[in-house]
Amino acid sequence: MYLASLAVIANSGTLTERLSALHTRLLETVPIVDRIACALYEAKDDQLKTFINSTRTGEAIVGYEASLSNSRALSQLAQSGDFRVLDDIASAIHADTAHSQWLKAQGYQSSFTVPLFEHGKLLGFIFFDSCQRAAFTPQVQRDLVLYTSLISMMISSEMATIRAMIESTKLARELTELRDFETGAHLDRMARYSRLIARAIAPQRGLNDEFVEGVYLFAPMHDIGKIGIPDRILLKPGRLDPEERAIMDSHVAKGVEIIERIIGKEGERHFPESDLLRNIVQHHHEMLDGSGYPQGIKGDAIPVEARIVAVADIFDALTALRPYKKEWSLDEAFAELQRLADEGKLDTECVNALVAQRAAVADIHTRYIDSHPSSAARP
């Protein structure tokens, strides 16, 4: 009965909600765990990113990422697959990083760290922290094994669902022989620009790292409806006429239809992030002043995730070389974004968040270059 109730908790609500519920249940038997947090690992960039947490004592660390290779201890855990117990955090941690400073400031005395793997590849880490010294005795560690497995399974399941959706959209592109309608580099840039913005505005908007990760994962799917647009329009080098523009604009409705087919009515119940994905696909061409499409909605009616992706999409369209336009410099594109924000079309906070991170933007722009820019489709 106890295991069954845990299974129900692990399969209902967002990941953050599920982790909080599991933490509540854990405290009934192991009351010394003051924090549970999960960080995801992205091998492509060698980055560990804060993801979900349940923090009962102290202040949660959010919007933080660092290279795994810069942490010798965590790198060793990733290699060995072993867990780590720190009985006295203050004496064990000497690195002067933002994370170590935060950890000491929270008053945590001991910790238990477990690496997460999926099909032999590092998925991330689970961190258990306690305000008591030497709290993670062998008995406590045994008690945490079940919860570690449940957390690992719920994260793996969620990521597997998202990856399956992304693979489905890739397959759809290939089956319609529109492999070049969006270059892989464009999608990489879009995702990373969107994450920069989401992470920067999250504190003011009361958004968590799970939301930031969702925006990062779903941003590349914003224009999935373009698989239904004919090449003669999608890849046309010149200006579109009114009839062609109407057909091009229909990609939003086609995209929503594709997403709903992939998710399905039953899938939505088990996929809390479905609204986030749908909002990005449906509203990323809307403008705050109502001048966007397809619905012409304005202001608060446009979800923040769509506002984020809109800024990232326009910025990348401006700074990318295309057959029908020149490549704008970063500063020219920033100025254009700010002009659109001043006109009330784009979210000012989202624009400012991107502009304020020029060095990170430049790094993304330089690292993810279109291999065949001449074949890329219009935005």
User: Mean pLDDT throughout 294-314?
Assistant: 96
User: Mean pLDDT throughout 115-141?
Assistant: 95
Q: What is the CB neighbour count within 10 angstroms for residue 278?
A: 20
Distances in whole angstroms, Cα of residue 348 to Cα of each of 125, 195, 208, 231, 253 = 35, 16, 20, 34, 27
Q: How far apart are CA 220 and CA 43, in angstroms?
A: 18
The structural domains of the chain, ordered by start, are 2-157 (3.30.450.40), 176-375 (1.10.3210.10)
Q: What single letter denotes the amino acid at residue 210?
A: E
What local confidence, expressed as pLDDT, does residue 212 receive? Answer: 96
Question: What is the DSSP code (8-state) at residue 303?
Answer: -
Summary count for the chain: helices (H), strands (E):
16, 6
User: Mean pLDDT throughout 50-54?
Assistant: 96
Residue 325 confidence (pLDDT) above 70:
no
Q: Are 68 and 75 in contact (CB under 8 A)?
A: yes
What local confidence, expressed as pLDDT, does residue 99 receive? Answer: 78
372 pLDDT tier (thresholds 50, 70, 90): low
Q: Are 170 and 176 in contact (CB under 8 A)?
A: no
Poorest-pLDDT segment among 98-107, 126-135, 165-174: 165-174
Instruction: Note if the bond before 294 is cis, omega within 30 degrees.
Output: yes
Q: How far apart are CA 136 and CA 85, in angstroms?
A: 7
